[in-house]
Structures are given as structure tokens and as C-alpha cells.
Amino acid sequence: MENIFIARQPILNKDQALFGYELLFRDSMHNYANVKDDVYATCKTLINLFDNFGVDNILGNFKGFINVSEDIIMQDVINIMPKDKFVFEILETTRVCGKFIDRIKNLKNDGYIFALDDFIFTRDYLENFAPLFGYVDFIKVDIRQTSPEGEKVEKINLARGMERIKSIPTNFLAEKVETRDEYLFCRDLGFDYFQGYYFAKPAVMISKNIDPSRIVIIKLINMINKGESTSRIVDVFNVNPELSYSLLRFINSAAFFFRSEIRSISHAISLLGLKNLQNWLILLSYAGNKTQGIASPVFHAAASRAKLMELMTDKKYKSKDKRESAFLVGLLSFIDILYKRPIDELLQKLSIEKEIYNALMYFEGFYGQLLDICILENEQNFGEMTKKLENIGFSVDEFNNAKLESISWLNNLIRSL
């Protein structure tokens, strides 16, 4: 299981109170970025934030500033980002054109917040970004790039530059503030927010990650593009418990505020919608991944157990909702093995129905009893298994037949994927 990283650097207001954090791409504990692809860096940072660290854990009630290239802004991927949590920093390399201006206008009208990153007072920069001045809420000025000639001239150029742009109706943020003298000077010039080593260096945080298979992600994107049925899409998730868990983590992140508790993967996709699902998958495909995919024996065990529980539940209730919930219980029953973390820690990150949670944690209810029976069978405790099957109204033969059917289903599905 690989380590994954993210860094954040505080952004403070005039009173040196915390306003937000800039989120920075990192690929190691070394506190610097090795960015070769802006799209990759942005998407990897966002995936790590959503799937592993959690938006609330990293940002709390504060804003998150994050770099976005024009490619990200122009695609629908940005629509799945929680606009109330992020300030999207438009890179200094962006070439502003009519389509880009229209896109920023529309997103701004939809509630998105933008900043101009690494602002410098050159004629080319000002001419390029002038059409956006009315649509950005922050201009981040790199105070170390105002002059290469030393502190005195640097301050003069910074003061002159600020005089030129102070009429723009926006908030000014001083970047790379490294001393108290620089902070006081920038504050007196009219800067509203501050960021730099004087306040704090970026703090690198580390977590563990298992990325879903790139092949499966691309397959799902193609299925959505071709108009495949939701049931076929659900089938792919059903043999990829890692991807299913990532989907549940995402749908319960700060990006969405669904009141319904999730009862199945099908339910999650219906709430999310195929368009948002596709956007999330595109984000994952940009970020890159490495796993065993459906070749993993853990995947096989989880998928076959899920199908077995679905078949047994269908025999008892003949209810689509109940059999899908049973499938989800079986699918999630291996996540502690998959992620090498306690199951209670993992389940706390998901907004699943209480009945499903209690089944996984305490073997309560019908789903819990059925899960207990599956575990007893796996442990070859057939005497206890037989008693518990009788308690819920099933024979050993019915259970064995359902298990054979689940194995056959898994083999056929893997061959078709």
C-alpha cells in the first residue's frame, strides 16, 4: 500500500488570523513539489483530499486555495468540486481567450470563487489577465518577483505595482512573505491576506492509499459515454470493492450533502447521477493508479460473498432494495482487509444506513446474521453455521446452492469485463 501526501500552507488576514490554506501537490515527505504536469498535480491533490484525508479533516471551516489549469477549468470535472469550500487559482501560464472568459463568467455566476495566481506587474501579464479582473475575488501577488535587484528596489516596484491595480474590486493576497518587515510593508500597501514562510512553511501530511485500476476506470467512462444501462455499470463496481469504497467516500464528502443514507451502489449512482459519476472517474483517471484489479483474491472473496448475501436475501424478501443492501454489506465486509485499517474507522467515513452499519459492526439484523453465517462457513464452523441458518429459516442445501450460484456469477462476470 503506497503512501500518499498533501501539503497545506496557512493564509492569514490582516490581523494574522487564519483565513484558509493553500493545498499543494506533494509526492514525498520532502517539502517541495515535483510538478511535471499541472493537470495531474491538481487532480492527484484533489483525489488524495477527497478519498484519503477528507475535506473537513484538512480544511475544517476554512477555505482551500488550489491551483487549476485552464484544462481543468474548461472541463466538467470542476463541477463536482464543492464551490463553497475552494478558491480556484488560475495559473499564471493561462492564455486568456474569449471561450475562457465566458467559462469564468458562467462559473462565477454559479457561485465559484477564483483567484489569479503569481500576479506580476509586467505589461504582458496585465494585458493577458485584464479581462478577468471583474470576475476574480483574489489577486495573489508574488512579492519576490516584483524586482530582481534587491529589497529596496523590490519595495518600490511593489508599491508602484499596487498603485496601478488598487482600483480593481478584489482582495489582494501577498505571497512569499518571509519577514515581519515585509508583512508590515504589504499590510500598509493595502494587502488583505498574507501567505509565506514568515507565518508558516507548508506542512506535509501523509496517509495510505490504494488506487483503483486505471483499466476499470477507463472502461466505466466508456460505458457511460456509450449509454450503457446503470445495472451494467453497477456490475463493474460490484467486482471492484476498492472502487466502490472510493465512490462511497466521494459521495459522502463535502462535495455533496445528500440527506438519504446510502443503501447500495445503485442507490449511490442514482443520487450522484451518471454525469457526475463520469466526472469523478475522469478525475481518477487523470490522477493515475496501481492495483491488482479483479485479479486480487480479496476482490473475488468480497464479490462472491456480496452475491451470496444478495441471493439469500432475495429468497427471503423478494425485494430489490433489500437484496441490493445485502450486496453492499457483503462488499464492505472485506474493506478492513483491503485497506489494512479497522473497519469501524473506515465505516465512520461513510453515510450508510444504520441497518447496514450495525450488520457490519455488530452482526445485527437479518444482514448481520447472514454475514455471520458467511464468516462461519469461511472458518469451516459448519455446526454453528447450520444452527444460525435454521434460525433465519434456511437449510444448508439452500445456502450451498446459493454459494455455487454466486461463484458461477462471479466467473461469468469477470469473463465479460
**CATH (residue range 210-416):** 1.10.3210.10
Query: Residue 327's closest CA among 209, 411, 409?
Result: 409
* Cell matching residue 126: 496585465
> What CATH architecture does domain 2-207 belong to?
Alpha-Beta Barrel (3.20)
> How far apart are the C-alpha atoms of 48 and 68, rounded to whole Å?
15
**pLDDT for residue 205:** 55
List residues bridging with 204 in a β-sheet.
7
Contact 241, 334 (CB under 8 A): yes
Q: What is the pLDDT of residue 61?
A: 80
Segments making up each domain of the chain, as ranges: 2-207, 210-416
Which grid cell is 207? 496517509
- pLDDT the model gives residue 55: 75
* 10-residue averages of pLDDT along the chain (417 residues): 70 87 66 54 72 72 87 82 89 91 95 92 88 94 66 71 88 90 90 87 59 68 82 87 81 61 86 80 57 59 87 91 86 76 77 87 95 89 92 93 87 61
Q: List the grid coordinates of 59.
A: 480544511
Separation CA 224–CA 231 (nearest Å): 11
- What does the chain come to in residues? 417
45 with 24: CB under 8 angstroms? yes
CB 176 within 8 A of CB 141: no
Rounded Cα gap, residues 365 and 303, in angstroms? 21
Can you give the C-alpha Rg of the chain in angstroms? Answer: 26
**What is the pLDDT at residue 150?**
47
Confidence at residue 204, expressed as pLDDT on a 0 to 100 scale: 62
* Tally of CB atoms within 10 A around 323: 20
Backbone phi, then psi, for 117, in 5-degree steps?
-95, 150
The amino acid that residue 396 corresponds to is: V
Q: What does the alpha-carbon distance between residue 306 and residue 50 come to, in Å, rounded to a whole number?
A: 26
SS3 164: helix
Strands 18-24 and 138-142: unpaired
How many CB atoms are located within 10 Å of the residue 363 CB?
A: 16
Per DSSP, the residues of 356-386 read HHHHHHH--HHHHHHHHHHHHHHTT-HHHHH
